[in-house]
Structure 1
Amino acid sequence: MDQIKPGNPAPDFTLPGSGENRISLSDYRGRIVVLFFYPKDDTSGCTAEAISFSGLKAEFDALGATVIGLSPDSVKSHDRFRAKHELTVDLASDEEKEVLQAYGVWVQKSMYGRKYMGVERTTVLIDRSGTITRVWNKVKVPGHAAEVLEAVKALG
């Protein structure tokens, strides 16, 4: 599958979110959306990433931006993760991996010579019209949320 690229329309989706919420990308038309794809709830890198996005949530909100984390974990797992770390960003559950595949982030990975399928940590910035404006592949967590915030500010 072709990687998603700036200038392309963001693939729409509706997924279960925290509690009974449903998260539909189309509901955010008119707002900037930061979509961060992460491998697994409550692992060190993913926790650090979700905490840093949560820490900047008020600043994203002030700029008219919504931050959504997305992983293949269940809603129950997301709810535990949010409660344990007092996360304020929305988390969407893609257990079927359809959205992960649509965005090209469900990829073959390798660890210690063993190949397996998993989420490549990626962040996608979507403008108010639903167009992808920036993609960060193979994200390194330290400083990433602040860098994304600067990109949102640049969108105006």
Structure 2
Amino acid sequence: MDVMMKGKPLTTNSTVPVKGEQAPDFSLNDLNEKAISLSDYKGEVVLISTFPDINTSTCSRQTAKFNEMARTLDSTRILSISTNTKEEQKDWCSAKEIDMDLLHDSDRSFSKAYGLYVEEMDKTARAVFVLNREGQIVYREVVKEMSQDPNYEEAIAAARHEEAEMT
């Protein structure tokens, strides 16, 4: 898939899963080095937020915004994923109250499985997925210009819709 960084064309490693498909399972470590797998959340609504680098303004804003919005959701799990190191993610989290799982894709396995790996930058493209209780993708946005924000409102609306389907 083609994306851009500040107008420079880049290509991801593969095709990104689309709405209606089953989300590929993965296992990544959180900030405590606990392995977190997508299959751990079977039966729950999941919002996956990916970004290139927590230490840039857009990525920091995206992570903070979804963390803030997590408090407004009843039963959606938010997973924020980047290729940053655990230490970089921990530094970002210091002095913040985090209501989501921040996962580091150290070996790029998630990024590659989801077709979001940008080899030229060794980073993950910016994207948001919402998964229903069965792990099926019900919302997908791959941000074409990676220096721009995703559509927070649409992603949260999709998660709220799936929460409502659960009741």
Q: TM-score, normalised by structure 2?
A: 0.80
Unaligned runs of 5+ in 2: 1-13
Q: Indicate which of 41, 50, 54 corresponds to 1:41.
A: 54
Matched, 1:141 2:141: no
Contact 1:50 1:87 in 2 (8 A): no
Match of 2:20 in 1: 7
Match of 2:128 in 1: 123
Contact 1:39 1:118 in 2 (8 A): yes
Match of 2:107 in 1: 96
- Counting aligned pairs with the same residue, the percent is 24
How far is 1:33 from its partner? 0.5
Match of 1:77 in 2: 88
Match of 1:16 in 2: 29
Contact 1:3 1:103 in 2 (8 A): yes
Amino acid at match of 2:67: S
How far is 1:117 from its partner? 4.3
Secondary structure at the aligned position of 1:42 is classed as: coil
Matched, 1:107 2:115: no
Secondary structure at the aligned position of 1:100 is classed as: helix
Contact 1:82 1:88 in 2 (8 A): no
Q: C-alpha distance in 1, partners of 2:80/2:116?
A: 13
Q: Which moved more, 1:24-33 or 1:118-127?
A: 118-127
How far is 1:37 from its partner? 0.7
Spell out, residue by residue over 1:40-62, the C-alpha distance to the aligned partner (whole angstroms, 9 max, x if none).
Answer: 122100110011111111222x1
Spell out, residue by residue over 1:82-136, the C-alpha distance to the aligned partner (whole angstroms, 9 max, x if none).
Answer: 115443321111111111011111135xxxxxx5443210001111001111110
Amino acid at match of 1:14: S
Match of 1:26 in 2: 39
Unaligned runs of 5+ in 1: 109-114
How far is 1:18 from its partner? 1.5
- Report the aligned-residue RMSD: 1.8
Match of 2:69 in 1: 56
Q: C-alpha distance in 2, partners of 1:66/1:137?
A: 19
Q: C-alpha distance in 2, partners of 1:73/1:3?
A: 21
